[in-house]
């Protein structure tokens, strides 16, 4: 039996596994076979909206996107293998972490979805950080809830359930109000030894809001917490119709605990063991390091979350990464077209990335701030994309391109300095994934220079979060008794997979260090732009 026929039979027998991830600009579905290899995919592009001062996505757009992604996947399956999907071995849902989705007892959304991108909860995050002696970032669900309480928002009294985007989709497909522990760790702090929400902090929060006399208790409105490998429910008949309106997909399929994009990124790069880490670089950028021990103190620039198996993870998260690069690429397309030269967005992007390698190591006196949104790490509630150069700077296209790429990773470097220089965190391997790493070795080379750490990329890293979510779903239904996720990934998924590692170049490291000094000095200009440019 050839491979195409084998996969055709696998799909016909309902033995393929589906992973779906709702990213910030794309919803993607990936189907994998019994060897964990992707065999089909489908995607749908979408964008957040800025409405009434809130970054949001509409729930109808969630389902339009999911259904379109799944429909496109089914079309690819029909075209490549000549078969329809009617059953699956398992399903997993993941999405952007954090944010705020509060529902009433009738299942109605009480306020528009407040995404991770919002920086409107500074007071709440600060007060809770002091109360818990644990860093509560502005993005976290509990910060959004407490800010709504501080604002005196009337909807708070009607809350029956709050969740994340992945938790919402999972609930609609399965009827279960649960989260994987990694996603749950961005809702409320996880206890160090309990694999559940920290009970002391729950009690502290209850005491804090007791004078408000709300009709709910925090523990009762939070999703349940599940570990990787546990069953998160089954696809209901209603859920099957939501995913596949054609009615071909059968209910009863096991669904894995829903996870956040941080957790699926860890899985997709085999970075869930102690002293491993990964960097996800796309619309936003974040680094995740699995720790040997807890940090010595609280840092507002570093989030403490968990792997899908509950291990402590230090997370440096930046709201901005490639959006400014994308916009410059679109502008350059317009310039090329004005000269009568047809140019696609991807051609312009590739030109920016590859030309950056020819630029001076310090960008020749050019500095770029990619701040579309605020950045808590650098103390900005709003952003203004900004490009600055010295009068005698070497203003070449290569230096301009390199400055754009450096600007996309500069804030991450500032956060990572805390872990590497203050906490002396040890990292054995660092994997990169996401759009920033797609242009050959360019993203790896510049990231290695920025952090002075070797950066590796796997061939499979391009599949990203939806593939990682499919792996978690496969682990749930295929694992042996007592088999850990770490062992499952190392022995059954990644064994023998090629890895491309780029070491930091000393000249590039020194050049980035010069760049970051200018970058930090110029943050005062960025902050002034936020105040004065309206």
- Domain 3-260 shares a fold with domain 269-320+416-502: yes
Instruction: Report the pLDDT averaged over residues 1-24.
Output: 94
Does the pLDDT at position 265 exceed 90?
no
Strand 386-389 to 455-458 pairing:
unpaired
pLDDT for the residue 280: 87
Cβ-Cβ contacts under 8 Å for 212 (sequence gap 6 or more): 149, 156
Cβ atoms of residues 455 and 448 within 8 Å: yes
Beta pairing, strands 312-318 & 285-290: antiparallel
The highest-level CATH class for domain 3-260 is alpha beta
Neighbours of 385 (CB within 10 A): 17
If one counts every other C-beta atom within 10 angstroms of the C-beta of residue 425, the result is 20
For the ranges 9-23, 357-371, 376-390, 513-527, the lowest mean pLDDT is seen at 376-390
Fold classified for 269-320+416-502? Nucleotidyltransferase; domain 5 (3.30.420)
Whole-number pLDDT of residue 461:
53
Q: Are 462 and 433 in contact (CB under 8 A)?
A: yes
Domain boundaries, the chain: 3-260, 269-320+416-502, 323-408+506-532
CA distance 200 to 361: 49
Question: 189-212 pLDDT, tens per residue?
Answer: 999 789 999 999 999 999 999 999
Whether the Cβ atoms of residue 370 and residue 281 lie closer than 8 Å to each other: no
Res 497: pLDDT:
84
Q: What percent of the chain has pLDDT over 90?
A: 88
Distance between CA atoms of residues 481 and 476, nearest Å = 11
Q: Distances in Å between the alpha carbon of 332 and those of 51, 346, 400, 409, 448?
A: 29, 11, 12, 21, 27
The C-alpha atoms of residue 227 and residue 309 are separated, in whole angstroms, by: 6
pLDDT digits (tens, 9 = 90+) for 462-490: 567 899 999 999 999 999 999 999 999 99
Label residue 1 by pLDDT band (50, 70, 90). low
What's the confidence (pLDDT) of residue 463? 61
pLDDT for residue 241:
98
Measure the CA–CA gap between 66 and 173, rounded to whole angstroms.
Answer: 12
- Please tell me the predicted confidence (pLDDT) of residue 93: 98
- Contact (Cβ atoms closer than 8 angstroms) between residue 43 and residue 478: no
């Amino acid at each position: 039996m050839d491979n195409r026929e084998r996969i055709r039979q696998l799909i016909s027998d309902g033995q393929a596994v589906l992973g779906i991830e709702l990213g910030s600009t794309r919803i993607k579905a990936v189907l994998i076979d019994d060897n964990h290899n992707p065999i089909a995919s489908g995607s749908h592009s979408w964008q957040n909206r800025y409405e009434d001062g809130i970054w949001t996505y509409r729930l109808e757009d969630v389902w339009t996107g999911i259904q379109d992604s799944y429909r496109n996947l089914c079309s690819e399956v029909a075209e490549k293998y000549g078969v329809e999907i009617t059953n699956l071995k398992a399903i997993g849902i993941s999405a952007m972490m954090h944010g705020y989705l509060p529902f009433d007892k009738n299942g109605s959304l009480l306020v528009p979805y407040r995404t991770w991108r919002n920086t409107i909860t500074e007071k709440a995050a600060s007060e809770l950080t002091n109360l818990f002696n644990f860093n509560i970032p502005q993005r976290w669900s509990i910060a959004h809830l407490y800010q709504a309480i501080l604002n005196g928002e009337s909807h708070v009294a009607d809350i029956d359930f709050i969740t994340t985007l992945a938790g919402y989709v999972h609930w609609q497909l399965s009827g279960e109000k649960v989260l994987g522990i990694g996603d749950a760790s961005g809702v409320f702090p996880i206890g160090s030894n309990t694999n559940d929400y920290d009970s002391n902090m729950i009690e502290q929060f209850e005491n804090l809001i007791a004078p408000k006399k709300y009709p709910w208790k925090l523990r009762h409105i939070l999703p349940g917490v599940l570990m990787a490998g546990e069953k998160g429910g089954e696809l209901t008949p209603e859920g099957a119709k939501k995913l596949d309106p054609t009615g071909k997909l059968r209910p009863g399929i096991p669904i894995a605990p829903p996870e956040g994009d941080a957790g699926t990124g860890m899985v997709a790069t085999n970075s869930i063991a102690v002293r491993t880490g990964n960097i996800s670089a796309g619309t936003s950028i974040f680094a995740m390091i699995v720790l040997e021990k807890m940090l010595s103190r609280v840092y507002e620039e570093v989030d403490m979350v968990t792997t899908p198996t509950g291990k402590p993870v230090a997370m440096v998260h930046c709201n901005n990464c490639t959006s400014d690069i994308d916009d410059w690429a679109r502008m350059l397309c317009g310039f090329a077209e004005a000269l009568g030269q047809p140019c696609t967005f991807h051609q312009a992007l590739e030109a920016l990335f590859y030309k950056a390698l020819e630029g001076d190591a310090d960008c020749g006196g050019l500095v770029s701030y990619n701040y579309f949104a605020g950045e808590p790490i650098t103390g900005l509630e709003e952003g203004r994309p900004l490009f600055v150069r010295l009068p005698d700077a070497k203003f070449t296209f290569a230096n301009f391109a390199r400055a754009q790429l450096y600007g996309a990773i500069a804030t991450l470097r500032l956060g990572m300095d805390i872990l590497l220089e203050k906490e002396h965190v040890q990292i054995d391997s660092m994997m990169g994934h996401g759009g920033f790493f797609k242009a050959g070795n360019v993203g790896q080379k510049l990231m290695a220079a920025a952090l002075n750490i070797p950066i590796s990329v796997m061939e499979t890293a391009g599949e990203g979060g939806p593939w990682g979510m499919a792996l978690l779903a496969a682990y749930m239904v295929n694992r042996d008794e007592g088999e850990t996720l770490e062992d499952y990934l190392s022995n059954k998924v990644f064994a023998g997979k090629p890895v491309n590692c780029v070491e930091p170049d000393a000249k590039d490291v020194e050049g980035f260090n010069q760049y970051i000094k200018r970058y930090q000095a110029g943050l005062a200009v960025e902050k002034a732009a936020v105040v004065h440019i309206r």
